Structure 1
Amino acid sequence: MVSEVLAGATDISRQLRPRPSLLKPDDVAVIYNANDALSEEVARYYLQARQVPAENLIGVELPRQTKDVLSVAEFESLKSQIEAKLGNQQVLLLVWKTPFAVQCNSLTGALTLGLDLEQCKKTCDPGRDSAYFNSSSLHPWADHHIRLSMLLPVTSVDAAKALIDRGTLSEFSLNEGNGYFLKTKDAARSKPREPFFPPDGMTVKSKRLTLHTLNQEALEKAQAVMFYFTGQANVDYLLTNSYLPGAIADHLTSTGGMLTSSYQMPATRWLDAGVTGSYGTVSEPCNYWQKFPNPQVVMAHYLAGETLIESYWKSVKWPMQGLFVGEPLAKPYVRSAPVTPE
């Protein structure tokens, strides 16, 4: 389906089939660290911004000493606390910066799909297929018995609130936007996803979107960025660009999901620059494209009107090492613009 959508015609508007998300604020469980006042403040702000019912707010006891990686026992305790308070929610929004992993698994992967400790025996081995990959499902719990999870990192209260606001604002207007797909000189990180980049100059006029596939190392002073996919350990000039509400961006590298990493850029750097959703791996994955978002799949579902969390989760075939971060309900493409026949 996806390869057909993003191949062929210069304007692919007529190849897109609208499939608006069915996720509602009631479907989101907002989970905060009861030992962290900032986590609770941001969680309550999310409830207000997204009109999530108060009963969907869940406080959990995380280790008082800040930890990046949970042990299996600590994860099982967290999971039990969450499940004891869940109803019919289909999305788990985790409101804190750390922890973000369980052994070699990302915390979002472990909560959504269950632990995969076999992967930890050799993290560079192929991963476990996700049945949700490129799925047509609009009911993750009913169809796949999974609750999609995403981390909303609290680097600061102001930054977290701004991220929430961007997600909320994404639905109010259809803006002229650009998608960028960079082929860099870092072959190990760039080449795996290049087959999934669209032809340069492709447009989606019904979504007011133009796609640019470029041979360069980074974007600088780019305007109205909605998509930005690249392969680099560190991405320069992020703060010089302007990003639309609902923007998705990530860089294929080994430890982008290690949010306290100092030698490779963490995914949170994208959020700090003004992006609404990003992704990174928490343990050495090697450069399988299947362990990273497939740009074609992300765009096909996002442009059809699905939410950020649905589109991003559907784009990773082997997601157990990958951490999804951002505001889950952003959906900038629920609207369409009229397309004049050529």
Structure 2
Amino acid sequence: MVVGVAAPVVWAGGGAENAIVIIDPTNPASLYVGNYYVQARNIPPQNILYLSPQAASFAAFAGFQKEALLGTAGNRAILEHIDFVVIAPHGAFYVPARDLVSDGCSSVTRFSASSAFTMSFIAEDVLRGASSSTRRNHYFSVTAPQAFDSSIRFRNGTGSRADDAERYFIGALLGYDGERGNTIEETIAMIDRAVAADGTHPDGTFYYMKTTDPLRSGPRENNFSRAIEMILELGGQAEQIDDVLPLGRHDGLGVMTGWASPDIDGGDFTLLPGAMGDHLTSYAATFDTSGQTKLSRWIVKGAAGSYGTVEEPCNYPGKFPHPFFHVWYYAGLTLGEAGLRSLGYVPFQVLSYGDPLTQPFAYLPMVTVPDFPEETVSGTIALTPEATTDRPNGAIAGFDLLVGGVLHGQAGPGESLLLDTTALPDGPNDVRVIAYETGTVRNQGRFLGTLNVSNSGKIIGLSLSPRTGDRSSILLATIDGGGGPVREVRLMHNERVLASGTGFPMLAAFRAEALGAGVSRVYAVADYLDGSSALSSAREVTIDYANPPSTQPDTAPPVAYGYTRRVPRNRPILVELPAFDPDDPNLTYEIIAPPAQAAIEGGGLSRLLKPNPAARGADAFTFRAFGNGTASNVATVTLEYGAYVPCEEIDKYKTRCRNNKVKVVVIFSTYDNETARLAVAVDGVQHTADVVNRKAKLILSNQPLGDHVVELLDPPNCREPAVVTCGG
């Protein structure tokens, strides 16, 4: 059987495709660690956002960072499968949040940097100020492990459609490089250990420490025995020791203790790669006070992650990882999933620290695609994936096909995936086939390939010189190509524009500091006048962290680059202001003429564009850069909005399945929306239908038996996802 969609959407199990990485483009440490993590985890370029995670208040965070995350991911068509928000070090570990959450013991004035993103879907409710610090985390459970999925609303540990069910992300701060945090080298070493640990099933012991401190040991120790029993039942090893640390033990898979200032650095014990350690105390993640041992010491000791609070939380058990953390971790969940599933309350003050994708106890499926083409392809092709798992009595549930980070289809075991390559740019396209297991843990494995496409005969090439350097280096890019006249050529790094032009050859200089230290992949994109587009192969650049750039005597004005930014779902989206100055690395920017149908917020080289509710068609704004006090040219950023229809103009919305045909019908109340295009996702794959005579109709034939999830994407936020059943 050959299908485009063959299984309900199950985005879970914790892989690179499920993570967004947030990097501060103005922070050298953030760029370096972010680049390293992206390379180590093979995060898709579409999953990287460049913005400062810092905010003056949680209200400011909700208006900028949260909107940038949800809107940009939505416009890139990846939001539906993003579960983790991984934050590179950026000089902050909390967001001010005074007078939003009540607590009968101690005032809540801070949210952790990770939890601010975790709460993205409930941010507006939190801002109403009616939450208690004991507000239930609905993903929490002591019943069974359950793979996390941000597209699911949880209630009492399971998916639910109840009004009080809630959605979350799993936020995590990779490291804090300020005082009492971790050095860049320590964070990078942690990333190496975490990645190497995945799927290794290390032999060792989980240690539960019962100390003589009733305030810090007492909240959790009553659940130690049951957690140990469950780990033993799963075939693992766990032990309770009446001490602060497991001294003399060198097989630590995890340590859970309660003590204000344990001597983690000096203790004679060893943590194995992938371990989690925490010590329930008030100031473990309060880096701006010297009191008590910081969770950063667990990372130095060898842990992949830890948990602690960013201010005095009082010792409510629900504010700290439950002893079942290690049970869920050993069952195969990622560190981030096990962490959030073990926190009884919404983690307002709790900092998730380390690599949340770590999964040493996962059974990672082995995936192949025997018919993956080595030759150049065109038209529609079929891919038939195969996968196996080493899990005892395990089985493969299905496969997801991603191209350029975007979901293009799903299939069950033994089925093939159809891919219409005419919807892709010519050139090398990144293809990922993800296999996921049956059961509740949903571990993933993946096939990675490059699909060379040629439907329009377009070919472009990119050369860079030099390919190595330090932070003061200046690189020169040359882009050449053929296949007809071009409208725009862009030099790209992780979905952000570095430079642009309007023809071949295009030459552009840019600073290594713009990429950041570490290994980066730079590529080119060309849009042609005939409506086609093409990609170049990516080129790796390796930049040393040494020799930061400094301002030199002025020899030439800056050059600012305009480009086209598509806003297909009319949600907020990040826009960059690319510019280059050979003498001044510290450019400033000015918006000259704002867009007519949107507002622009923020400062620096990364801004947030917020379209008006009725924005559609074409728009533009202009900007210029200043270096050494000299102004650049005025550059134009052209905006292309998707067809948007206000929710109130929807008169009827129907979806059903009959005779194995999924049918979606939307009828509008006016004729004002003629030629607009409706966007609907069925099982996570987007389809479109034109509006004709007030009606848009989509019919998908030959759908498999069973449930299918139907979501109205454009117009957005108008209807909740619906489930229709074929053959029921």
CA deviations 1:187-217 (Å, max 9, x no partner) are 1111110111127985856876321111113
CA distance in 1, matches of 2:263, 2:130: 31
Tell me whether 1:241 sits opposite 2:269 in the alignment.
yes
Q: Which has the higher strand share?
A: 2
Q: Does the 8 A contact of 1:119 with 1:127 survive in 2?
A: no
Q: Does the 8 A contact of 1:42 with 1:157 survive in 2?
A: yes
Cα distance, 1:111 vs. partner? 1.6
Q: Does the 8 A contact of 1:150 with 1:324 survive in 2?
A: yes
Q: Where does residue 108 of structure 1 map in the other structure?
A: 114
CA distance in 1, matches of 2:53, 2:22: 11
Cα distance, 1:337 vs. partner? 8.9
**Can you give the 5+ residue segments of structure 2 that lack an aligned partner in the other structure?**
1-11, 97-109, 154-166, 364-389, 393-728
CA deviations 1:26-77 (Å, max 9, x no partner) are 11101111121111111111111111111211111356xxxxx842354233
The SS at the match of 1:247 is strand
Tell me whether 1:220 sits opposite 2:247 in the alignment.
yes
Tell me whether 1:266 sits opposite 2:277 in the alignment.
no
Cα distance, 1:120 vs. partner? 10
Counterpart mapping for 1:75-154 below 5 A: 75-76=61-62, 77-86=64-73, 87-88=78-79, 89-96=82-89, 98-103=91-96, 104-113=110-119, 114-115=122-123, 116=126, 126-134=133-141, 137-144=146-153, 145-153=167-175, 154=177
Q: Where does residue 36 of structure 1 map in the other structure?
A: 27
The SS at the match of 1:295 is coil
Task: Indicate the larger mover: 238-247 or 179-188.
Answer: 238-247
Q: Where does residue 179 of structure 1 map in the other structure?
A: 206
CA distance in 2, matches of 1:36, 1:72: 21
TM-score by length of 1: 0.82
> Judging changes above 3 Å, is the alpha-carbon distance between structure 1 residues 194 and 274 closer, same or farther for their aligned structure 2 residues?
same
Q: Does the 8 A contact of 2:94 with 2:310 survive in 1?
A: yes
The SS at the match of 2:207 is strand
Task: Indicate the larger mover: 201-210 or 324-333.
Answer: 201-210
CA distance in 2, matches of 1:218, 1:136: 27
**Can you give the 5+ residue segments of structure 1 that lack an aligned partner in the other structure?**
1-20, 64-68
CA distance in 2, matches of 1:54, 1:37: 19
> Judging changes above 3 Å, is the alpha-carbon distance between structure 1 residues 200 and 293 closer, same or farther for their aligned structure 2 residues?
closer
The SS at the match of 1:235 is coil
CA distance in 1, matches of 2:129, 2:294: 22
> Judging changes above 3 Å, is the alpha-carbon distance between structure 1 residues 117 and 252 closer, same or farther for their aligned structure 2 residues?
farther
Task: Indicate the larger mover: 184-193 or 107-116.
Answer: 107-116
CA deviations 1:104-125 (Å, max 9, x no partner) are 222222221245468899xxx6
- 1:313 alignment partner, one of 322, 340, 358: 340
Partner amino acid for 1:214? I
CA distance in 2, matches of 1:276, 1:216: 23
Q: Does the 8 A contact of 1:259 with 1:267 survive in 2?
A: no
Partner amino acid for 1:143? I
Q: Does the 8 A contact of 2:264 with 2:301 survive in 1?
A: no
CA deviations 1:209-263 (Å, max 9, x no partner) are 3211111132324211111011111111445322111101101111212134310
The SS at the match of 2:20 is strand
Tell me whether 1:161 sits opposite 2:188 in the alignment.
yes
- 1:72 alignment partner, one of 58, 72, 75: 58
Q: Does the 8 A contact of 1:257 with 1:282 survive in 2?
A: yes
CA distance in 2, matches of 1:257, 1:120: 25
The SS at the match of 2:150 is helix
CA distance in 1, matches of 2:227, 2:357: 29
> Judging changes above 3 Å, is the alpha-carbon distance between structure 1 residues 294 and 83 closer, same or farther for their aligned structure 2 residues?
same
Partner amino acid for 1:152? L
CA distance in 2, matches of 1:24, 1:201: 28
Q: Does the 8 A contact of 1:207 with 1:337 survive in 2?
A: no
Partner amino acid for 2:168? I
CA distance in 2, matches of 1:163, 1:206: 30
Task: Indicate the larger mover: 39-48 or 141-150.
Answer: 141-150
Q: Where does residue 57 of structure 1 map in the other structure?
A: 48
Q: Does the 8 A contact of 1:206 with 1:337 survive in 2?
A: no
The SS at the match of 1:140 is coil
Q: Does the 8 A contact of 2:140 with 2:341 survive in 1?
A: yes
CA distance in 1, matches of 2:210, 2:304: 23
Q: Which has the larger radius of gyration?
A: 2
Aligned residues: 310
CA distance in 1, matches of 2:327, 2:276: 13
CA distance in 1, matches of 2:40, 2:189: 11
CA deviations 1:74-117 (Å, max 9, x no partner) are 42333233333223221100111532222322222222124546
- 1:253 alignment partner, one of 273, 281, 286: 281
Cα distance, 1:186 vs. partner? 1.2
